[in-house]
Amino acid sequence: MTNHTPGREQPWLDAERAREKTEDDRQVGEQGRRLSEVRRLEDESARSAAEHLRRLAEASRVLQEEHREAVEQVRQEREAFRDAAEGARLAAEDARSAAEGARHATIDAVRVTAEALSANLEQMKFVEQMRRIYRDLKDLKDPDSN
């Protein structure tokens, strides 16, 4: 026969239950700490990823701004080239107009020169005719001098 009295087993059983409950509480607490640590690491990883994305977004914004400035510079250069081309076109038009004016002036100069040469030729003909008349008059006046 064993000496099992219900009063004696109860404290031991209560102590065993309390120890098991404490162990269970410790395990639950440990699991909670592990979960908290996992969540902390996940949060830290998420913050790190968010910071990385923020840096990428900032770098992208900087590159976008640089590209916008480059496009604006190209637009301004294209506008300057367009203005220069328009200036060159106007200068070419002025040169063409001046060349046309010079051509007309040359034609007028040739015409005036031709008229002057024609007038000189007429004067020379007149002078030659006067010489003949003078010789003829001289020969009439002095028939023996020939």
Give how far Cα 45 sits from Cα of 9, 32, 39, 56, Å.
Answer: 52, 19, 10, 16
Could you tell me the pLDDT band of residue 1, with boundaries at 50, 70 and 90?
A: very low
pLDDT in tens, 7-32: 556 888 888 888 888 888 888 889 98
Give how far Cα 43 sits from Cα of 40, 88, 130, Å.
Answer: 5, 66, 127
Question: Which is it for the CA torsion 115, 119, 125, 129, positive or negative?
Answer: positive
Supply the pTM of this predicted model: 0.46
pLDDT in tens, 40-96: 999 999 999 999 999 999 999 999 999 999 999 999 999 999 999 999 999 999 999
